[in-house]
Structure formats: structure tokens, C-alpha cells
């Protein structure tokens, strides 16, 4: 019992990583990962929405009629997203501004709807909680690592502070869209290589 719960958690980190293996939710990952602060903020907001939505849909799974399940899931996702959006606007206005439209877009993030529809609407509360936690961590490590690389090499800063001497010439392309595409390509190739060698 305990081992299977741990398994639900671990699979999100690498083997079924929502971004690198299942290839969902890429828009927000690439768009937001230009700064470390954005990456951390996005992963916190995303984790909150995912965990809440999975818990809600698992808790109510026996009384939701099959025909109207998608609209009900949309409520479960849209409400926590609105909460995150309003909190960001109220307490972190600069962060909210630089992430722009991507916080409301958590509503249509395919990972959230996909996990709710395929997993938590059929599984128990504890399994759903472990699954959402694993997926949230899987999402977070990719986006934070990506944003650390992109901010340090692309802008020469970390959390907004200069960390190199004046001689360092930042690779500006990394903080532009092409750099994001290229880095994610390398990430996927590396993870694929590791997973294939292991199996």
C-alpha cells in the first residue's frame, strides 16, 4: 500500500514527467522561464491549482454525473486559478505583470485537465494527492531548472542580481523565444537518453 503511494509520487518526477515525457503544458513553461522569480512563482501557482483540482474531483467523483463532468472539472480548475490570479495581483504586482496572461491560462493547461480527467476522477483521495504532488514537483523542477539556466546565461543575473564581472557577455538568445525552444529540445534528448539506457 505504502509502496504504491510512493510510486504515484515518483512517476511524475521523471518516468511520466508531464512536460518532458508527456509533452503537455509547454506554453507556460517556455514563456515564463526567462527569470527565476517567474519560474518559482509559476510553479507555486500551478501546484496549488493542480493539487486543489485533483483533490476536489477525487472527493466528489461518486456524485458527478458522467455527462457534465467536463464543465464541473472546469469549475474545479477555474476557481483556484482565479484565487492564484487575484493573490498575485494583490501581493506581487510586478511578478503578476511580467507573467501576464499565463496565470489565467493555467485554466486551459492540458496537464491539469488531463490529470483530473484521466486519474483523480477515478482514484481515491490519497492516490490523487500523491499523484498531484508528484506531477507538481515534476513540473516545478523542469521550469525552475530551465529558468535558472536561462537567467544566468541569458542575462548574467540571478534573481535580478548581477553575478558575473563586466567581462561576461550574456547569451541574449537564451532569454528570447528560440533559446527556450532549443533548451527544451536538449532537456528532452537528455532525459530520453537516460531513461532508455536504464531500461
Partner 1 sequence: MFSNLIKIVIAATIVDNMVFIRYLALCSYVGITNSIDASIGMTFAVIFVQTLATAITWIIFHFFLRGLEYLQIIVFIFTIASLVQLVEIYLKKNVPSLYKAMGIYLPLITTNCMILAVTLINVDKNYNFIESLVYAIGSALGYGIALLILAGVRERLRVSNVPKFFRGYPLVFASMALIAIAFLGFKGLIK
Q: How far is the CB of 154 from partner 1 (least distance, A)?
A: 14
Q: Which of 6, 75, 118, 163 binds partner 1 (CB under 8 A)?
A: 75
Cα distance between residue 145 and residue 164, in whole Å: 19
Cα distance between residue 17 and residue 117, in whole Å: 17
Cα distance between residue 19 and residue 13, in whole Å: 10
Q: Which of 86, 125, 159, 163 binds partner 1 (CB under 8 A)?
A: 86
Q: How far is the CB of 40 from partner 1 (least distance, A)?
A: 19
Work out whether 188 is an interface residue with partner 1 (CB under 8 A): yes
Cα distance between residue 73 and residue 67, in whole Å: 12
Q: How far is the CB of 169 from partner 1 (least distance, A)?
A: 18
Work out whether 72 is an interface residue with partner 1 (CB under 8 A): no
Q: Which stretch binds partner 1 (CB under 8 A): 27-35, 121-129, 143-151, 159-167?
A: 27-35
Work out whether 78 is an interface residue with partner 1 (CB under 8 A): yes
Query: Hey, which residues does 157 pair with through a beta bridge?
Result: 162
89-118: which residues touch partner 1 (CB under 8 A)?
Answer: 100-101, 104-105, 107-110, 113
144-183: which residues touch partner 1 (CB under 8 A)?
Answer: 173, 176-182
Beta strands in 82-187 (DSSP E): 157-158, 161-162
Nearest residue (CB) to partner 1, 100 versus 160: 100
Q: Give yes or no for a contact between 100 and 61, defined as CB atoms under 8 angstroms apart.
A: no
Rg of the chain in Å (alpha carbons): 18
CA 101 to chain centre: 15
Q: Give yes or no for a contact between 41 and 167, defined as CB atoms under 8 angstroms apart.
A: no
Q: How far is the CB of 53 from partner 1 (least distance, A)?
A: 13
123: cell is 482514484
Nearest residue (CB) to partner 1, 60 versus 181: 181
DSSP label at residue 108: G
Binding residues vs partner 1 (CB under 8 A): 23-27, 30-31, 70-71, 74-75, 78-79, 81-82, 85-86, 100-101, 104-105, 107-110, 113, 173, 176-182, 184-186, 188-190, 192-193, 196
Amino acid at each position: 500500500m505504502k509502496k504504491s503511494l510512493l510510486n504515484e509520487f515518483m512517476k511524475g518526477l521523471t518516468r511520466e514527467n508531464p512536460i518532458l515525457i508527456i509533452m503537455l503544458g509547454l506554453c507556460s513553461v517556455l514563456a515564463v522561464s526567462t527569470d527565476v522569480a517567474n519560474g518559482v512563482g509559476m510553479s507555486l501557482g500551478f501546484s496549488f491549482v493542480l493539487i486543489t483540482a485533483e483533490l476536489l474531483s477525487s472527493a466528489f467523483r461518486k456524485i458527478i454525473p458522467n455527462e457534465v463532468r467536463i464543465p464541473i472539472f472546469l469549475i474545479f480548475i477555474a476557481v483556484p486559478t482565479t484565487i492564484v490570479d487575484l493573490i498575485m495581483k494583490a501581493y506581487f504586482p510586478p511578478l503578476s505583470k511580467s507573467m501576464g496572461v499565463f496565470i489565467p491560462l493555467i485554466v486551459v493547461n492540458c496537464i491539469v485537465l488531463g490529470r483530473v480527467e484521466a486519474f483523480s476522477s477515478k482514484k481515491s483521495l490519497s492516490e490523487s494527492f500523491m499523484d498531484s504532488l508528484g506531477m507538481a514537483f515534476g513540473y516545478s523542477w523542469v521550469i525552475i531548472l530551465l529558468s535558472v539556466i536561462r537567467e544566468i546565461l541569458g542575462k548574467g543575473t540571478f534573481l535580478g542580481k548581477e553575478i558575473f564581472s563586466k567581462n561576461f557577455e550574456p547569451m541574449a538568445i537564451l532569454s528570447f523565444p528560440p533559446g527556450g525552444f532549443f533548451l527544451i529540445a536538449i532537456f528532452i534528448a537528455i532525459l530520453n537518453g537516460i531513461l532508455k539506457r536504464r531500461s
